[in-house]
Amino acid sequence: MRPLRKTLIILLLVAPGMLGGCTLANWFVAVFSPPQKVHARYEPAKDKTYLVFVDDLLCPVTYEPIKRELTESLSKQLTEHDIASSTVPYEDLLDLMATNPNFNSMHVPTVGRKLGADMVLYVQIDEFALKDDQASPLWKGLLRVTVKVVDSDAGRLWPPDRPGGYPVPAIETPQTEHPSPAYGAELASILADKAADRIAKLFYEHEVSAHPFGKDSSFGGQ
């Protein structure tokens, strides 16, 4: 039996139990529709050095490594998708913070210039949590951020109509029971990678699955 025919037969057998209120025809249209293209929300200048600046000044995090993990994961995304020619190492930002007592009063473009960045992708953490109850073994990750693109000389470029930045849809993980406190580090890493992927997709054209079972379907609303 040909693989495609075998797959179709399997789908015909399992589909009715998955449909609920949907019709079989609508289900097949959704499943076999080609991926949909999603245009970039904003196309920033390329061939530039970028600083990913993850800031928790307004919402101090309880797990400091989330800032490094999000910075490094997002920096990698920027270079992999040819948005940045290079990125400023996180250690350089830490050094500037440590040696400048007035760091928290610096404007974002100033931080960019001092670190030799042409552009700054500023990421403000608005909400971060690894569990609802610290005494509970149940973990439920949440990371919500706002982003903006800032030129180190000209200032904010995007979004032009939102001085506070663009609110990125929250990253949430399902509730998971795990007895070890060390699981928090794993969960934070998952949140950072998912957030970095979602943020980077704002700046380049990509494809999403046309049906709700596709792994990238959650990004269609960006």
Mean predicted lDDT score pLDDT of the chain = 86
CA–CA separation, 93 vs 116, rounded Å?
11
CA–CA separation, 176 vs 51, rounded Å?
34
Task: Report the share of the chain in percent with pLDDT over 70.
Answer: 79
100-115 average pLDDT score: 97
Domains of the chain, by residue range, sit at 38-219
The pTM of the full predicted model, rounded to 2 decimals, is 0.80
**Pure H helices in the chain:** 3-19, 24-31, 65-80, 90-99, 108-114, 183-200
Q: Which one is predicted more confidently, 49 or 26?
A: 49
- pLDDT of 175 reads 92
**pLDDT digits 0-9 by tens, 140-199:** 999 999 999 999 999 999 999 999 999 999 999 999 999 988 999 999 999 999 999 999
Question: Degrees (nearest 5) of the Cα angle 35, 194, 173?
Answer: 105
Contact by Cβ (8 Å): 92, 45: no
Top-level class of domain 38-219? alpha beta
Residue with tokens 């949440």: 142
